[in-house]
Amino acid sequence: MYKADPNRYSTMPYVKCGDSGFKLPKISLGLWHNFGYADNFANIEKMCRFAFDNGIIYFDIANNYGYPYIGSAEENFGRVLKNGLAAYRDEICIATKAGFEMWEGPYGARHGSRKYLIASLDQSLKRIGTDYVDIFYHHIYDPTTPLMETALALEQIVRSGKALYVGISNYQAPEFDQMTKLLKELKVPFIINQLRYSMLDRTIEKRGTKDVAEKEKIGIAAFCPLEQGLLTSRYLNDVPKDSRLGKRGEKSIDPALLEKLKKLNDIAAQRGQTLSQMALSWILRDDITTTALIGASRVEQISENLKALENTKFTKEELDLIDSLTNY
C-alpha cells in the first residue's frame, strides 16, 4: 500500500489563489498528455505519487483528456486514487473541466450551457470516483451561450456540493472581466482562470487578461509554460523522433526560432538553470500567476522542473533581454 513521503511539504511553496483562502502549490501537475488509455498505467501512477511526495498537491484534469479515448485520463487518475492516494484526499486538490466536445448530439457539443456543464461534471465524478472536485472549470469561452447561464450553472454546481470552487479557462479580457463580475454578484467562490502562458506566448499580457486577474484578485494557472517542449533542451540541436514535433513528422524547427531558443538557453545557463527551469521561474516571477501547470512523461521531468523553484528572481537586465528575444 502506498504511503506518502513524510517530508512532502518541506520545500514546496503554497500561495493563496486570488483573494480566497485556498492555497495552491507553485508547480502543479497537468494530466493533458501521457495519462490516457494508451499510456502505461504503472508510469502514470509513479508520476502522480512522485508529484505528491514532492508537495505537488494540485492535479489538473479535464473531461476530454486522454488518448485515444476522451475521459480516460480521469479514469486513470481515479485508479491512482483507489490504489492508495485516496487516503490523502483531504490533502489533494483535484480539478477538472468541461467545455469542449464530449458526446454525440447538441448537448455534448462544445459550449457552456447548464445542461452540458452539469451532465459533464456528473460523468467526471464517476470516472474519477470522487464525490466532489476542488475546482471545476468552464474550459473555454462560448460566445453562443449567455455568460449568465454559464455563471448560474457554476453557481448550482457549487451549491450542490459537487465542487468547492469554480474557475474558467481560455477566457481572455473582456469576457474574463464580465464573468468575474457575474460570479461575484452571485457570490460564487470563483478563484482562478487557467490560461496559456509562456515566454513565447505572451497573449495574456498583450490582451490585458493578466491585468484583469491582478485587478480582480483572481488567480492564474498557467498551462503550456514550456510551450509543449520547445522551452526545453530537447530542440536545441534537432527534433527527436519521440518528441511531440517528431511524432507529428516534423524534422526541423524554424531557424529563427532555434536561434532564439539558443539565446534563451544561454541566459538560463548564466543563471545556473536549464532552459525549462528558467521558463518556469519566469512564469512564477511575480505574485499574479498562482501556479504553473507542468506536463510530464516520466518522473525525471517532474524532478527537474521542481528545481525551478530554487531561483524565481530575475534582474531587470535579464527580463529586458528575455523581452527583446521574445519580441515583447
Assess if residue 8 is contained within a domain: no
Q: Bridge-partner residues for 291, per DSSP?
A: 221
CA distances from 322 to 96, 256, 275, 290, 319 (A): 33, 15, 12, 21, 5
Task: Find, among 96, 222, 214, the residue nearest to 157 by Cα.
Answer: 96
Whole-number pLDDT of residue 247? 58
Please report the pLDDT score of residue 245 as a whole number: 58
Average pLDDT over residues 304-326: 97
User: Of 79-83, 107-111, 256-260, 293-297, where does mean pLDDT reach its minimum?
Assistant: 256-260
Q: Note the pLDDT tens digit of each residue in 3-62.
A: 999 999 999 999 999 999 999 999 999 999 999 999 999 999 999 999 999 999 999 999
Residue 198: DSSP 8-state: B
CB of 291 closer than 8 Å to CB of 221:
yes
Q: What does the pLDDT look like over 232-277, one tens digit per residue?
A: 988 787 666 665 655 565 556 788 898 999 999 999 999 999 999 9
Q: Is 233 exposed, middle or buried (0-12, 13-18, 19+ CB in 10 A)?
A: middle
pLDDT at residue 226, rounded to an integer? 97
Question: Is residue 9 in some structural domain?
Answer: no
**Mean pLDDT, rounded, of the chain:** 95
Q: Which amino acid is at 87?
A: A
What pLDDT is stored for residue 227 in this prediction?
95
Of 287, 62, 293, give the one whose Cα is nearest residue 197: 293
Average pLDDT in the 153-160 region? Answer: 98
- Would you state the pLDDT for residue 328? 72
Long-range residue pairs from 320-325, CB within 8 A, at least 24 positions apart, any chain: 321/267, 322/199, 322/264, 322/267, 322/282, 325/260, 325/263, 325/264
DSSP 63: T
Our count of domains for the chain comes to: 1
The continuous run of DSSP H or E covering 134 comes out as strand 133-138
Contact 167, 140 (CB under 8 A): no
Domain residues for the domain of 264 are 14-325
- Mean predicted confidence (pLDDT) in 77-81: 98
Q: Who has greater pLDDT, 78 or 251?
A: 78
Residue 240, amino acid: P
The pTM of this model reads 0.95
Q: Are 140 and 110 in contact (CB under 8 A)?
A: yes
> In which region does residue 142 sit, left (phi positive, over 0), alpha (psi from -120 to 50) or beta (all else)?
beta
Any idea what the CATH number is for the domain that residue 175 is in? 3.20.20.100
Instruction: Answer whether residue 114 is part of any domain.
Output: yes
pLDDT, mean of residues 94-114? 97
The pLDDT value recorded for residue 122 is 98
Alpha carbon separation from 186 to 190, 204, 216 (Å, rounded): 10, 26, 15
Tell me the mean pLDDT in the region 316-321.
97
Residues 6+ apart with CB under 8 A from 88: 4, 52
Residue 223 scores a pLDDT above 90: yes
Euclidean distance between CA atoms 90 and 68, whole angstroms: 31
